[in-house]
């Protein structure tokens, strides 16, 4: 779960060169929204307020508490992924030992890379500041990134297959459970208030943060993508369509979607106008497309 910036955008403070509605206000202070936000002095005791012309959207009365909501979504995602894994026909026949080894490699690689690839933005300020009002998930070792977990899980499986002499593609069985888990996980991010989008004018599509600011609902947009993908992958699994390239196709499209959604998040741009997470998305896109191309002659 990548750290994001939540707060209130308001007209610029006195003696500022920033245009209206481009200064970040919170109860702790004021920052201009630039790469160097962490190094600029704060104006203490700045009161939160909204941009003119916006209106607060009502909080969902049915929503559970943010911490509870996150854990419920993750739990539902894990249960749904397990059910989907048993429901779908297996695209490749593996022994029990081989299947357990691949599952362990995927999990271990995902954990190591999810934490490891979040360290550079945490240490170098390449992620937006922690949002006021966002709820931590209680997990150890700090933040994690989904893109890093996907890269690590994929590389871990490839390493295990190489060590075990497994030459058959095995990713087809991972695609549907992964889509279900990520869909539910992004709903959890929405409940927790993390991974949020930029402030926007209040509209039917906007969501609100803990301080009442309307924002682009990037978590819900990503959840919708994974939900639609899960339906398509379920149909493909039942029809045994693209068993060799199903995971590669899904992750290639996801990498493109995630790369695009990052333009509506508040992470600093570190090079070429792109954020750290966009570079991770490009790496995932290259890996998925390369796998797709290598398996282009596989039977559909």
Can you spell out the DSSP letters for 251-293? HHHHHHHHHHHGGGS-PPP-BTTB-HHHHHHHHHHHHHHHHHH
Q: How far apart are CA 216 and CA 13, in angstroms?
A: 24
Reference 190, options 230, 135, 128; nearest CA is 135
Distance of CA 187 to the CA centre of its chain: 10
169/177 Cα distance (integer angstroms)? 17
> Whole-prediction pTM value?
0.75
Instruction: Name the more confident of 71 and 210.
Output: 71
Specify which residues 30 forms β-bridges with: 25
Q: Across-strand partners of 274?
A: 271
Residue 266 near residue 198, CB atoms below 8 Å: yes
Q: What is the mean pLDDT of residues 163-186?
A: 91
Higher pLDDT, 270 or 209: 270
Would the pLDDT of 212 be above 50? yes
Q: Is the predicted pLDDT of residue 75 greater than 70, yes or no?
A: yes
Q: Are 91 and 172 in contact (CB under 8 A)?
A: yes
Rounded-to-integer distance, Cα 43 and Cα 30, Å: 5
Encoded tokens for 220: 């819900």
CA dihedral in degrees (294, 251, 76, 81; nearest 10)?
Answer: -10
Give the residue, 18 or 235, on which the prediction is more confident: 235
For position 141, what pLDDT does the model report? Answer: 56
Hey, which residues does 62 pair with through a beta bridge?
none
Give the H or E element holding residue 178: helix 172-192
Round to whole Å and give the CA distance between 219 and 110.
21
Radius of gyration of the chain (CA): 21
pLDDT band at 241 (very low <50, low <70, confident <90, very high): confident
Average pLDDT, the chain: 77
| Contact status, residue 189 vs residue 206, Cβ threshold 8 Å | no
pLDDT at residue number 252: 97
pLDDT exceeds 80 at position 36? no
| Lowest-confidence segment of 44-53, 168-177, 224-233 by average pLDDT | 44-53
Query: In this model, does residue 285 exceed pLDDT 90?
Result: yes
Give 136's pLDDT tier (boundaries 50, 70, 90): low
Residue 19's alpha-carbon distances to 5, 22, 36, 100, in angstroms, are 19, 6, 17, 56
Domain ranges of the chain: 17-49, 65-294
Stretch 16-33: mean pLDDT? 33
Q: In this model, does residue 91 exceed pLDDT 50? A: yes
- Number of Cβ within 10 Å of residue 236's Cβ equals 20
């Amino acid at each position: 779960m990548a750290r994001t910036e939540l707060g209130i955008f308001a007209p610029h403070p006195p003696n500022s060169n920033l245009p209206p509605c481009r200064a970040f206000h919170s109860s702790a202070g004021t920052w201009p929204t630039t790469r160097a936000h962490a190094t600029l002095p704060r104006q203490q005791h700045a009161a939160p307020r909204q941009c003119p012309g916006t209106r607060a959207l009502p909080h969902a009365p049915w929503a559970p508490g943010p911490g509870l909501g996150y854990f419920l979504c993750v739990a539902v995602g894990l249960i749904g992924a397990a059910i989907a894994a048993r429901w779908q026909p297996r695209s490749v026949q593996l022994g029990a030992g081989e299947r357990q080894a691949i599952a362990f490699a995927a999990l271990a690689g995902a954990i190591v890379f999810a934490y490891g690839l979040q360290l550079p933005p945490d240490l170098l300020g390449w992620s937006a500041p922690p949002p006021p009002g966002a709820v931590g998930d209680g997990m150890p070792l700090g933040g994690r990134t989904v893109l890093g977990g996907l890269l690590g899980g994929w590389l871990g499986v490839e390493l295990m297959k190489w060590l075990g002499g497994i030459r058959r593609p095995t990713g087809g069985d991972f695609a549907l459970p992964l889509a279900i888990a990520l869909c539910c996980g992004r709903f959890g991010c929405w409940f927790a208030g993390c991974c949020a989008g930029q402030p926007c004018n209040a509209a039917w599509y906007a969501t609100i943060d803990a301080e009442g600011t309307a924002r682009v609902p990037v978590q819900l947009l990503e959840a919708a993508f994974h939900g639609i993908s899960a339906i398509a992958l379920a149909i493909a699994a039942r029809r045994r369509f693209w068993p060799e390239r199903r995971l590669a196709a899904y992750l290639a499209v996801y990498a493109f979607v995630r790369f695009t959604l990052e333009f509506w998040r508040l992470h600093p741009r570190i090079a070429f106008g792109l954020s750290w997470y966009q570079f991770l998305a490009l790496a995932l896109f290259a890996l998925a497309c390369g796998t797709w191309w290598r398996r282009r002659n596989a039977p559909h």
